Amino acid sequence: MLALPADHPTAIEFRKNGVNFQQIIEEPFILNQWNSHFRSMEEEILKHNQIHPNVLLETTNLKASIHMLKNKMGIAFLPRSFGESKDIALFPIEPAPKFHVVIAYHKSTILTKAEAGLIRILQETYKN
């Protein structure tokens, strides 16, 4: 999800018409650290939208990104699970980035109830 300070000038328009990356091309971006999985998804989104970001900060700390967003220092990508807050507006990105969730274990492993439950939840959550 694209995250902007809730009172960012383009937030109202994005709520009405969806995200237009050309409107935020000059904005400072708070991105994940270069070698992270999330950064590769961010790079894919930026490339798809032909954006060469003005990178303010690369971080591994989600709390730092959120703090900077709340203080109107830039814009960022946050997981949907973060949820919207009074200070931060989240916008879906089209096409939505995709990633794979993989759980591997030896076929002779006897799973605990908790492990089997986790696998069931992941299968239900990440169907295709």
Which CATH number is 47's domain given?
3.40.190.10
Q: How far is 72 from 74, CA to CA, in rounded Å?
A: 6
Q: How far is 4 from 97, CA to CA, in rounded Å?
A: 18
Domain tally for the chain?
A: 1
Query: The domain containing residue 63 runs over which residues?
Result: 2-91
The predicted pLDDT at position 32 comes to 92
95 preceded by cis ω (within 30°)?
yes
The predicted pLDDT at position 37 comes to 83
Residue 47 counted as domain residue: yes
Give the residues of the chain that fall short of pLDDT 70: 83, 99, 128
Mind giving me the DSSP string for 32-79? E-TTSHHHHHHHHHHHHTT---EEEEEES-HHHHHHHHHTTS-EEE--
The predicted pLDDT at position 79 comes to 82
The predicted pLDDT at position 29 comes to 96
The predicted pLDDT at position 128 comes to 59
Residue 102 counted as domain residue: no
